[in-house]
Amino acid sequence: MRKLLFSLAIMIGVVFTSTADEGMWMLQLLKQQKLSEMHALGLKLEDYDIYNPDGASIKDAVVQFGRGCTGEVISSQGLVLTNHHCGFGQIQQHSSLGNNYLDDGFWAMRQEDELPNPGLTVTFIDQIEEVTAWVKECLVRDRERDKEGIFYLSPAYLNGLAREKAGEQFLNDHPGTEVEIKPFFEGNQYYMFTKKVYSDIRLVGAPPSAIGKFGADTDNWMWPRHTGDFSLFRIYADKEGNPAAFSTSNVPLKPKRWLTISTRGVEEDDFAMILGFPGTTHKYYTSWEVAERRDIDNSVRIRMREVRQDALLEEMLHDPAVKIQYASKYAGSTNAYKNAIGTSWAIDMHNFEQVKRDQQNRLAEWADRKNKPQYTDALKEIECIVKERADLRYRSWMLNEAVNRGVEFSTIPTAIAEHLVKALEDDDQAEAEKLLVQLESAYHQFADKDYNPGVDRKVSKKMIAAYMQAVPEEHYPGAFHLIASDFEGDSDRFVDFLFDQSLFGSEENFRRAVSGATLIESLRNDPMFLFAKSVRDEAASLRAQLASYDVPLSLARRTFMEGMLAMDEPYTHFPDANLTLRISYGKVKGYQPRDGVVYKHQTTIEGVMEKEDPDNWEFVVPEKLKALYSTGDFGPYAMPDGKLPIAFAATTHTTGGNSGSPVMNGAGELIGLNFDRNWEGVGGDIQYLPDYQRSIIVDIRYVLFVIDKFAGAKHLVEEMELR
C-alpha cells in the first residue's frame, strides 16, 4: 500500500512540473532554470543577453510604466511604447470636448508639443540581488520589535532594510534611485531591487480610441482581437541624464539600451518571450482558497459590477460629456468583471479544486514519509481559517463592491468637516477659516472634472438597492436603517434626500451651507457625511475582524510553501507574481476553445472591417483607416499575402501588470506588444492552462502602420531601429 501511494505521488507530481510555456521566471536564475528549454524552442540569445548584472542587456530596455503596467524603450531618445489602456488616464486628463484626444488621437509632431503628465513615472531596474540570508538575520536581530511576528512580510520593514543595506549616502549620491526588498514564496526567499525612477514623462502619441480601444468592453479578454492597443511616451531627464522633476530645460533620456524592431512578422510555432512586471498570481492557492475565490470574491464582484456597469453605460451613451468623464472608471470596472467571470469558469471547467487537493495530498504524503508534521498542520490551519472567515469576507466584499466602489459619494472626506465643527464650537476663528478653505478644496477634489452628481445619484440608487437585497438587515451600516425608519423602505427617496440636503450634493448646496448662519448644524447633521462615516465605520469593523486571521494565515502559508520548496528539486518552482521583473516564454499559437471551433494565431485588418458597426461606439472604424484599407495602402507593414496584420496570440504566461510588455522573437527583437489575455485563460492566475491560455499581442507592424500611414508621424518611426 505504501509503495502504491508513493507511485501515485510521483504520478501526481508530474502534474505540477511546469509545462514548457508555464511560468513567470526570475531573470537572474534563467541559466539554472529555463535557458535550455528556451533554446530548444528557438531562443538564440544567452542568459547574459537578457539579464547582465555587469553590463547592458535587454532588461535595461524594459520599464515599469506608472505603478501597474510595463513599457519598453524603443529609441535612443527615450521613446517608450506601452498600451493605450496603460496611458488612458493621461490621454483622458489631456482631453476635453474641444481637444478630444480619446476620440481623435494625439500626435506630437515636434518634441516641444509633447505633453507632460504630473505623477506619472517610468522605472528601470538597475540591479537584482538575493538577500534571503541577510533578511533572515535581520529578522532575528529585530525579533523584540516584531511583536506580532509580521515583519517578514512587512513592506515598511523590508524597505527599511533595503535602505539600510544600500546606505543613505548611496541613495543621496544617486538621484532618483530607490531600493526595495520583496518577499517571494510567502517569505521563504527575498530579493532586493535597485531602481531608477524618472518622473518627467511626456505623452508623444496615441491613436484614437476607435483604434486603441477598438472592440472596447465587448472584445475585452476575447480572441480573435483587432485592437491597436498602444501609446507612446518619452522619458525626459536633466542634462546629466538623471531623473528630475518636469522642467522645460530637461532633455530626452539617452538610455543604456533600447529594443530593435523586427518587421519580418511571425508564423505559428515561432518562439516568443515577454519581459514585464506581472502583478498578482495565486499559483499556490489551496483548494479552500480556490473555492473562496469563486464563491465569494468573484461571485460578489460579478453581480455588483453588472448593476453598476449597466447604469453607467446608459448615462455614457446618452451624453458625450459623461462618456469622457466616466470612460476610465467604466473601463476599470469591466476589466476586473470579465476577469472574475473567466476565472470562475476555469475553476469549474478544469476542476482547480481537485488539482489543488492533489497538490496538498502530494505534500502530505511526502511530509508523512519525512516525519515533518508541520506541513500537514499548516494545511489544516489554512482550511480552518478560510472556513471561519467566510461570512465576514462576504460582507466585506459586498460593502466594497456595492457601496465603496459603486456609490461615489461614499468616499467624500468627512474628517475636515468634523475638525471644522470643533473649531467653530471653540470659537477659533483663524482655525475655522483655514479649515473652511480646506473643506472647499476637498469638495472640488471630490467633485472634479470626472465627477457628475446626476450620474452618481442614478447609479447610487441601483447600487444601494442591490446591496440591501444581498445583505441581511442586521449587517447594514447604521445609516441604512434610516431607509426603513424614515423613508418607508424606499432607498431611491433616501438617495434623493442625501443629494438634495448635503453640502456635497451640489455646488449650490455647498455655497448655501458655508454662507449660512447654521453652518455648525449643517456640518454636524449633513446626511451624506453621516452616510459616508457610517459606511467607513462598517468597513473598518469588518477589516479589523478579518485582520485577526491575517497573521495566522500568513504563517501557515509560509510553512506550506516551505514544504513545497523542500519537497521538490531546487529551481523547480517560480514565485507568484508581485510586480517584479519576470520573463515568460512560449510559442506563437492559436487554440481550440471548444469542440468544432479553431482560432488561428493571427488577425488582420479584414477582421476590423468585418466587425465595423457605425451605430455601436465600440466598433466604429475611423474614415482614414477605411480609406487606407480600400486602397491597400499598408506601406512596408503588410504581410506577404498583402494583408495588414493586427494582432497575434502566444502561449506566454502573463497576468495584469504585463500590459504593455514587449514581445520578442528568438533574437530579442520586438515583434509585438502584449495587451490582454483570452477569457478562457484568465484562470491561469491560479493554474496555467496550456491548451487554453493565450497572451493577446498587438503586432508591431500594425503599431508602425498606425504611426506612419494613419497618423503621418513618420518622424517617430525614423527614431526606431527596424530590421
pLDDT of residue 7: 37
Cell of 471: 445583505
- Gap between the Cα atoms of 708 and 706, Å rounded: 6
Residues 229 and 292 in one domain: no
CA atoms within 13 A on the CB side of 187: 21
Task: Identify the burial level of 658 via C-beta atoms within 10 angstroms of its C-beta, where 0-12 means exposed, 13-18 middle and 19 or more buried.
Answer: buried
Per DSSP, the residues of 257-291 read ----B--S---TT-EEEEEE------TT--HHHHH
Residues 214 and 94 in one domain: yes
* Sign of the alpha-carbon torsion through 134, 137, 142, 143: positive
**Residue 674, beta-bridge partner list:** 697
pLDDT of residue 589: 97
Q: What are the φ/ψ torsions at residue 625 (nearest 5 degrees)?
A: -65, -40
Q: Where is the domain boundary, 506, 528, 547?
A: 547
Spatial CB neighbours of 305, under 8 Å, sequence gap ≥ 6: 333, 334, 336, 337, 340, 401
Residues 412 and 540 in one domain: yes
Residues 272 and 299 in one domain: no
CATH number where 646 lies = 2.40.10.120
Residue 629 lies in a domain: yes
Residues 607 and 530 in one domain: no
pLDDT of residue 632: 96
Secondary structure of residue 594 in the 3-state scheme: strand
Spatial CB neighbours of 359, under 8 Å, sequence gap ≥ 6: 12, 15, 16
Cell of 226: 483587432
Length in residues, the chain: 723
- Gap between the Cα atoms of 205 and 309, Å rounded: 29
Render pLDDT for 431-490 as a digit per residue (tens, 0 to 9): 989 998 998 998 898 888 889 999 999 999 999 999 999 999 999 999 999 999 999 999
Spatial CB neighbours of 174, under 8 Å, sequence gap ≥ 6: 196
pLDDT of residue 5: 35
Render pLDDT for 352-394 as a digit per residue (tens, 0 to 9): 999 999 999 999 999 999 999 999 999 999 999 999 999 999 9
Residues 600 and 704 in one domain: yes
Contact yes or no for 308/406 (Cβ under 8 A)? yes
Residues 647 and 538 in one domain: no
**Residue 599, beta-bridge partner list:** 591
Classify residue 201 by its DSSP letter: E
Residues 28 and 80 in one domain: yes
Residues 269 and 340 in one domain: no
Model's pTM, two decimal places? Answer: 0.87
Residues 270 and 293 in one domain: no
Residues 593 and 648 in one domain: yes
Q: Where is the domain boundary, 499, 531, 547?
A: 547
Q: Is the omega angle on the peptide bond into residue 320 within 30 degrees of 0, that is, cis?
A: no
pLDDT of residue 20: 67
Contact yes or no for 263/708 (Cβ under 8 A)? no
Contact yes or no for 587/650 (Cβ under 8 A)? yes
Nearest to 299 by CA among 438, 393, 405: 393
- Gap between the Cα atoms of 81 and 67, Å rounded: 15
Q: Where is the domain boundary, 547, 582, 614?
A: 547
Secondary structure of residue 588 in the 3-state scheme: strand
CA atoms within 13 A on the CB side of 507: 8
Contact yes or no for 565/510 (Cβ under 8 A)? no
- Gap between the Cα atoms of 460 and 466, Å rounded: 10
Residue 499 lies in a domain: yes
- Gap between the Cα atoms of 696 and 274, Å rounded: 12
Residue linked to cell 502602420 = 705
What is the number of structural domains in the chain? 2
pLDDT of residue 518: 83
Mean pLDDT for back-to-back runs of 10 residues, the chain (723 residues): 36 45 94 96 97 96 96 98 96 90 96 97 97 97 93 97 97 96 98 98 98 92 96 97 97 98 97 98 98 98 96 92 86 86 93 96 97 98 98 98 95 88 89 91 89 94 97 95 93 96 91 84 90 95 97 97 94 96 98 94 98 92 97 96 97 96 98 95 93 96 98 98 96
Residue 148 lies in a domain: no
Contact yes or no for 582/276 (Cβ under 8 A)? yes
Residue 511 lies in a domain: yes
Residue 229 lies in a domain: yes
**Residue 115, beta-bridge partner list:** 203
Q: What are the φ/ψ torsions at residue 664 (nearest 5 degrees)?
A: -125, 155
Q: 463-480 in b/e burial notation, b at 16+ Cβ within 10 A?
A: bbbbbbeebeeeebbebb
- Gap between the Cα atoms of 684 and 691, Å rounded: 11
pLDDT of residue 3: 38
Residue 355 lies in a domain: no
Residue 644 lies in a domain: yes
Helix (H) or strand (E) holding 152: none
Residues 240 and 306 in one domain: no
* Cβ neighbour number for residue 114 with a 10 Å cutoff: 20
Spatial CB neighbours of 415, under 8 Å, sequence gap ≥ 6: none
* Cβ neighbour number for residue 429 with a 10 Å cutoff: 10
Residue 325 lies in a domain: yes
Which active-site residues does the annotation give?
85, 229, 659
Domain membership of residue 37 as a residue range: 10-121+199-282+574-719
